[in-house]
Amino acid sequence: MVRKEIENLLNVALKKLGINGKALVSFSSLPELCDYQSNSIFSLAKQNGKNPIELANQILNNLDHSLYFNFEVAKPAFINIKLTQEGYNHFAQILFEDSRCGVAKISNQKVLLDYGGANVAKALHVGHLRSPIIGEALKRLYSFLGEQVISDVHLGDWGLQMGLTELQLYQDGKLDYYFTGDGEEPVLTLEMLNTAYPKASARKNEDENFKKMADEWTLKIQNKEQPYFKIYQKIREVSVKEIKKHYSELGAEFDLWLGESDADEYIDKALDIIDKKGLSYISDGAVVVDVAEEGENIPIPKKSPDEIQRYKNPMPPAILKKYNGGVLYATTDIATILMRNTEIKGLNRIEYIVDARQKNHFIQVFRVCKKAGISPKDQVLLHIGYGTMNGSDGKPFKTRSGDTIKLEDIIQMLIDKASEKLKSNGVQFDRKLALQIGVAAMKFGDLSNNVGKDYVFDLDKFLSFEGKTGPYLQYTVCRINSILNKTTDKGGKIDIECEEEQQIIKNILKLNSSYEIAYKEKSLNSLCLATYDLAASFSTFYNNHKILTEKDSNKRNSYISLLKLVKKALTQALSTLAIDVPEKM
């Protein structure tokens, strides 16, 4: 908002001077010196055959008068800009009155976001944690900035785990009723699934026959043969109930609760399109599509003739059908893109928030869809790959015994640790508050990192009530709430007088531009940092000023309005990050 206004002033002057090109303005890199700066003059002068410092001075002489800014030229040809007292008051009032606190809408694209990705019949584990956290925040960011966003949880519900789980339950004598009709229909519980799948998954690696049979069972389910399909539906139901509970605790909401299985009717259609384009062929009984591009699959010279051929930068063909006719992960993803483009019109982008280690899978899927025209040319297909959540040893976060941690256990851990913290701070709390704080700690700890990077999951650090943490931000809002609750003053015209207040306004303006940065980077770290900076500048102000006991009623009411403004800006940012703020803590 302010940057645009300064740019306009500069550009009017440039036009008067007959200079081609436009000046850009950024936040100052030397805050002691100025608030904003333009670094464009040097190159504009060069392009127009002028002396840089002379041009900078000419621009200053040709500026329309402005109440809100002071301009200064600095060597070699910078223009430094400072907000005036009137400027601070003017912009503070605009921010205060605007329902979005001055954040502009910047896009109206239609986007489908694929995140969550929990697998039916398998317990959710730590590897699935980042997807709902990042996905939910990106969804809120995109819609806040004006886009039409549809979120789809895309459950993993059409793969080998189905056959494995069902076969194991059968062999454990739990499914006799469905095959013999004897006795009563069993109640399938989550515990049964949670034992069956890991057992079967371990067996498939050792027992070739078992694996083959599980493949057969998976195929029967995919072919909707009874009673296999009916049992599958029961398993899915139990599982999805549990998945919904966990996602709701994490504050992830989905418009569509679809899964791989929902794209089933599009599988043959997709395979047909691919076949008609002459893209697929049979290899070892399987249906495959070559997707490698130049610079990929470069043969590495063999050391001996009987060594198997290896490749540099390998990009294997996408396998769409197995030897036995079963379909795979890539197939359901391709069919899902066909389904989305058939049932939802005008999607500008489809974005996947999935573990970075699935990079090649998405390259294969996207290339097949583009080649086959299943995704229109101008549609963006994007994999936003997130890094691994590591333990303090720098390795993927595991339990002490080396097992992957179940999401359920993580949530319990968040609640326990947050409870400890609240207890030691002498705060009254219940499970809901502990969960709210624990989840905020984890989310902010996660989102403050660049999405693509691995990070260390250090819950003790994340849970601190001081520093760059979720609880600190929640606490800041609660503190403002408690001040506002103690007064009947309604607030009045904002008068920015001291440096601490100026800093708050500047930090709100910075926070506002961090939305666009986050949008462009598809990562929320800049938004997290700017939110923290605003909270920190509020704390500094708060520590140095008496608010409620201020005698001058104009001043007191100006403070109250400023507090309301900070609260609105913080709440808006936290809600974009999908971090809940409790009333009190």
Is residue 429 a contact point for ligand ARG (CB under 6 A)?
no
Q: Compose the 45-84 pattern: x for residues touching ligand ARG by CB under 6 A, - for all others.
A: ----------------------------------------
Q: Which stretch binds ligand ARG (CB under 6 A): 12-20, 112-120, 245-253, 404-412?
A: 112-120
And the tokens for 260?
A: 């791989």
User: In angstroms, what CA-CA distances link 127 with 31, 71, 161, 510?
Assistant: 41, 52, 17, 33
As a whole number of angstroms, the distance between CA 223 and CA 162 comes to 13
The nearer residue to ligand ARG, 117 or 132, going by C-beta atoms, is 117
Using CB under 6 A as the binding rule, the residues of this chain from 154 to 213 that contact ligand ARG are 154, 156
Q: Which stretch binds ligand ARG (CB under 6 A): 79-87, 111-119, 492-500, 520-528?
A: 111-119
Residue 158, SS3 per DSSP: coil
Nearest alpha-carbon partner for 162 in 229, 227, 96, 262:
229
As a whole number of angstroms, the distance between CA 286 and CA 163 comes to 19
Is residue 215 a contact point for ligand ARG (CB under 6 A)?
no
Q: Compose the 125-164 pattern: x for residues touching ligand ARG by CB under 6 A, - for all others.
A: -----------------------------x-x--------
Nearest alpha-carbon partner for 515 in 575, 433, 437:
575
Shortest CB 210 distance to ligand ARG, Å: 22
Helix (H) or strand (E) holding 563: helix 553-576
Is residue 354 a contact point for ligand ARG (CB under 6 A)?
yes
Is residue 557 a contact point for ligand ARG (CB under 6 A)?
no
Is residue 114 a contact point for ligand ARG (CB under 6 A)?
yes
As a whole number of angstroms, the distance between CA 562 and CA 546 comes to 13
Shortest CB 260 distance to ligand ARG, Å: 8
- The count of other CB atoms within 10 Å of the CB of residue 117 is 23
Shortest CB 82 distance to ligand ARG, Å: 49
Nearest alpha-carbon partner for 231 in 173, 181, 182, 162:
162
Question: Which of 52, 87, 102, 117 is in the footprint of ligand ARG by CB under 6 A?
Answer: 117
Nearest alpha-carbon partner for 255 in 154, 340, 350, 150:
150
Shortest CB 43 distance to ligand ARG, Å: 44
Q: Which stretch binds ligand ARG (CB under 6 A): 113-121, 288-296, 494-502, 525-533?
A: 113-121
Helix (H) or strand (E) holding 155: none
One-letter-per-residue 3-state SS of 262-310: HHHHHHHHHHHHHHHCCCEEEECCEEEECCCCCCCCEEECCCCCCCCCE
Question: Which of 119, 341, 503, 558 is in the footprint of ligand ARG by CB under 6 A?
Answer: 119
Q: Are strands 286-289 and 280-283 parallel, antiparallel or unpaired?
A: antiparallel
The nearer residue to ligand ARG, 144 or 232, going by C-beta atoms, is 232
And the tokens for 270?
A: 């997709």
Helix (H) or strand (E) holding 351: strand 349-355
Shortest CB 333 distance to ligand ARG, Å: 5
- For residue 353, what are the β-bridge partners? 384
Is residue 333 a contact point for ligand ARG (CB under 6 A)?
yes
As a whole number of angstroms, the distance between CA 405 and CA 426 comes to 30
Q: Compose the 300-329 pattern: x for residues touching ligand ARG by CB under 6 A, - for all others.
A: ------------------------------
- The count of other CB atoms within 10 Å of the CB of residue 360 is 14
Tell me how many residues contact ligand ARG (CB under 6 A): 8
Question: Which of 352, 457, 465, 538 is in the footprint of ligand ARG by CB under 6 A?
Answer: 352
* Contacts with ligand ARG, residue ranges (CB under 6 A): 114, 117, 119, 154, 156, 333, 352, 354
